[in-house]
Structure 1
Amino acid sequence: MAAAEWLCRHGAEVDARPYLGMTGLHLAVLADHGAMVEWLLGQGADTALRDDQYDSTPLGWAEHLGRTAQIELLIR
């Protein structure tokens, strides 16, 4: 998480979409990294952004992958 904090302090956008339209929030859900999901949400990550490959939001990914703890974070 320190790397993400450093990047954001140095100008990286929390909702950057570097690969197939996936945001950091999509990737944190994929990696089952709840602390990162929580941190990104605290930084104002947009939960409505859809990736280019599956046209899904991070919540859609969490539901598909059965990430119940992350679903709870994303629907708060």
Structure 2
Amino acid sequence: DIDDFIIALPVKEMNDLYVAICRGEDDRAHNFIWMMRWQETCMELSEVSQNVYRGWLRVMISMFVFDMKM
């Protein structure tokens, strides 16, 4: 059920991590990537996943990884 999925998300922690990454706290990059992968896995397990979301997630991860290599 989508409601159970949404309720289970650690929204505050996810937002804190996102804000830290936007500020340039590169030491948290590993956690950010794992958060995005965890979210994708949860979506797949709950059968909520859509191709649009999965594509967006891949783009976000690849952009972030590319930025870290520069």
TM class by shorter chain equals: 0.3 to 0.5
Structure with the higher fraction of residues in helix conformation: 2
Task: Tell me the TM-score normalised to structure 1 length.
Answer: 0.31
Between 1 and 2, higher relative CO (CA 8 Å, sep ≥ 6) is seen in 2
Task: Tell me the TM-score normalised to structure 2 length.
Answer: 0.33
